[in-house]
Amino acid sequence: GKVVSIADTTVVRLDTDEGITGWGEACPLGPFYLPSYAQGIRTGIGVLARHLIGLDPRQIGALNTRMDRELRGHAYVKSAIDVAAHDILGKSANLPVHALLGGRQMDAAPMYWSISQGDPDDMRRQVDSARQAGYRQFQLKVGGVPADDIERIRAGLDGARPGEIFLCDANTGWRRDEALSVARATADLDYIFEQPCDLYSDNLSVRRRTPHTFKLDESLQSPQDVSQALQDDALDIACIKITKMGGLSKSRFARDLCAAHSIAMTVEDVWGAEIVTAALGHLAISTPPDAILNTTDLHNYNDIHIATGAPQAHNGTLLVSDAPGLGIEPDLDVLGKPVAIHE
């Protein structure tokens, strides 16, 4: 019953006295999804701004230290600022952001397509449509009535082809018993079981009793959460989302921690438009090929576009440019006047 029809995104512009401008974006997917909300970003930036003005944004570690000192927690508030600082550093060094995150490791990053929860036959048609567009990875949205979800999973995987990957994502929608009933009823199918329950303890219990490859998403809201999940052997695949981690800096740390433990990853973000897609694209393309499962291009799901130059989908992969910084140019006519200016 939780539906988002309009996503409220916040775009941050950082101006420097050297004439270099950096852009960031953060977009919570409704206040009921994660402990974050759009108005909180804008209020939090107002709290942080007076502590950040005058700092060198190229000193990204020092910038994050100051943000964490002046505002405990609230990682999602800091994300767009951290991304904008990466944009500035890349432009000042004439390097793409992916060069700052470890360097390009692949020509294009593998992508998945999200299949909206609905009638099983319609979900099967959505899979076929995405397949025709070149996708080989499909994320089926479940997490409703277990009996209905079992039908959705079977319909979505009907006609699965060799080499295709299916994820069944409940987005925390089931109780522990419901998740186990779905897992047992579909034990004959090959798919990735993604974030069935809300509580970490419930997910850990289900993970220990299901034969399916297990992925955590909403339970991983910080590098510390990732470390705990690795210690508990709570996952096979991790979802690293930039905004919930607090920006590219901490997302890179979490990504590298997973890669060091041979954990595959989805590298993406909560939601957003072209600026978010650029940031996640640079993080994805700089991830070791044997550590990335997939990524996405969130702006393709939107009907409003706020910038040019964002990574583009091609035959089920994401193409990321080598232009300096994020490589995007915001459309100021679409963005309109700032809702707040701090100087």
Q: What residues are labeled active site? A: 141, 241
Alpha-carbon gap, residue 77 to 27, rounded angstroms: 10
Question: For residue 134, what are the contacts with CB-CB under 8 A and spacing of at least 6?
Answer: 314, 315, 316, 317
Q: Which of 311, 313, 335, 332 is nearest to 323 (CA)?
A: 311
For 256, list phi and psi in degrees, rounded to 5. Answer: -70, -30
* DSSP category for residue 235: -
Side-chain-side CA neighbours of residue 63 (13 Å) = 27
Q: Which of 81, 133, 98, 112 is nearest to 243 (CA)?
A: 81
Alpha-carbon gap, residue 296 to 281, rounded angstroms: 8
Is residue 236 within 8 Å of 265, Cβ to Cβ?
Answer: no
Dihedral angle sign, alpha carbons of residues 148, 150, 152, 155: negative
* DSSP category for residue 58: T
Is residue 294 within 8 Å of 269, Cβ to Cβ?
Answer: no
Q: Which long-range contacts (CB under 8 A, 24 or more apart) does 333-342 make?
A: 334/304, 334/305, 334/306, 335/11, 335/306, 338/13, 339/42, 340/42, 340/45, 340/46, 342/45, 342/46, 342/49, 342/50, 342/53
Please name the helix (run of DSSP H) or strand (run of DSSP E) that holds residue 209, with its range, or none: none
